[in-house]
Amino acid sequence: MKLLESPSVYIRNISISYQNKIIFHNMNLTLNGGQTTCILGASGVGKSTLLRIIANLVSANHLSQGKDHTNASISSDNLIPVCEQISYIAQTDLLLPWLNVIDNVLLGFRLRKTNRKTLSAQQSLAKNLLKEVGLEQAIHMHPHQLSGGMKQRIALVRTFIEGKPIVLMDEPFSSLDTINRFHLQDLTANLLHKKTILLVTHDPLEALRLADHIYIMSGNPAMLSSFLTLNSQTPRDPSSEEMITLYSSLLQRLLGR
């Protein structure tokens, strides 16, 4: 598959309510092409819902229960429907227990019509990628034989090999321990470099390490407010003085002080 140029994504006037409670109203957000946008916020504020709307996982039905949404749109600057250009990483690795590692990595190709030639080409690419992330021995193992960090690493490789230009990440490393999380953030920054990424997280440090733009989502109904734009190379070193200062001010902001 030809790698598409990473487009910008424009989210305009999105509203959603759930059980008569407005989650957010006329939300706007722009994801800059080839950059990582991060939404920080407490659990349950509606971060994942926004992500699921962009991924077209929440049905239009559900949307129309909200306010008037005639102006609502989700578009990208290459005019291809956004939901056809995304790949998605969830909180859990979502590996299928009946498939071994390499078949899990190639799941997308099994789920679409793929001819044998493409599949074998992808297979060798997948092997190389797994080798690169240090999972050479695990290629023919099944998920239950692997640790949480390994599994989420495989989920990252699965996302990468899909070759989609937009990646939506829903608290991808929240179930991992600090050290594994750190390694996987490095891997994300390297593997998914130059893609348009929306990262939803509640970990301020994760946002500071990976994001080009940080937004904070809060309130009821939820509002987005821009917090910070960073220009330095990712993954950032969390022990630098700048990071420590930013971390503390970000934390203050999240705590509402």
Partner 1 sequence: MNIFLRGFILIISLTLLWEGVVTIFKLPSYILPAPIDVLKTWFEYKNLIASQLMTTLTETLLGLSLGIIFGCFTALMMAFFKPVTFWILPILLISQAIPTFAIAPLLVIWFGYGITAKIVTTILMLFYPITSSFFDGLRRTETGWLDLAKTMNANKFRMFWHIRIPAALPALASGVRVATAIAPIGAVVGEWVGASKGLGFLMLNSNERMQIDLMFASLITIILFSLILYFCVNRLLRTFIPWQVEQ
Binding site for partner 1 (CB under 8 A): 52, 55-57, 83-84, 86-88, 90, 92, 94, 96-98, 107-108, 110-112, 142, 144, 162, 168
Angle, helix 148-161 to helix 178-191, in steps of 10 degrees? 10
Please, what is the minimum distance in Å from the beta carbon of residue 94 to partner 1?
5
Amino acid letter at 123? Q
Please, what is the minimum distance in Å from the beta carbon of residue 250 to partner 1?
29
- For residues 108 and 235, which CB has a smaller minimum distance to partner 1 in the complex? 108
Please, what is the minimum distance in Å from the beta carbon of residue 69 to partner 1?
21
Please, what is the minimum distance in Å from the beta carbon of residue 195 to partner 1?
14
- For residues 22 and 90, which CB has a smaller minimum distance to partner 1 in the complex? 90
- For residues 8 and 56, which CB has a smaller minimum distance to partner 1 in the complex? 56
Please, what is the minimum distance in Å from the beta carbon of residue 83 to partner 1?
8
Write out the chain in H/E/C secondary structure: CCCCCCCCEEEEEEEEEECCEEEEEEEEEEECCCCEEEEECCCCCCHHHHHHHHCCCCCHHHHHCCCCCCCCEEEECCCCCHHHCEEEECCCCCCCCCCCHHHHHCHHHHHCCCCHHHHHHHHHHHHHHHHHCCCHHHCCCCHHHCCHHHHHHHHHHHHHHCCCCEEEEECCCCCCCHHHHHHHHHHHHHHCCCCEEEEEECCHHHHHHHCCEEEEEECCCCEEEEEEECCCCCCCCCCCHHHHHHHHHHHHHHCCC
Amino acid letter at 25? H
- For residues 201 and 234, which CB has a smaller minimum distance to partner 1 in the complex? 201
- For residues 113 and 257, which CB has a smaller minimum distance to partner 1 in the complex? 113
- For residues 198 and 250, which CB has a smaller minimum distance to partner 1 in the complex? 198
Please, what is the minimum distance in Å from the beta carbon of residue 238 to partner 1?
30
Please, what is the minimum distance in Å from the beta carbon of residue 227 to partner 1?
28
- For residues 195 and 209, which CB has a smaller minimum distance to partner 1 in the complex? 195
Amino acid letter at 181? R
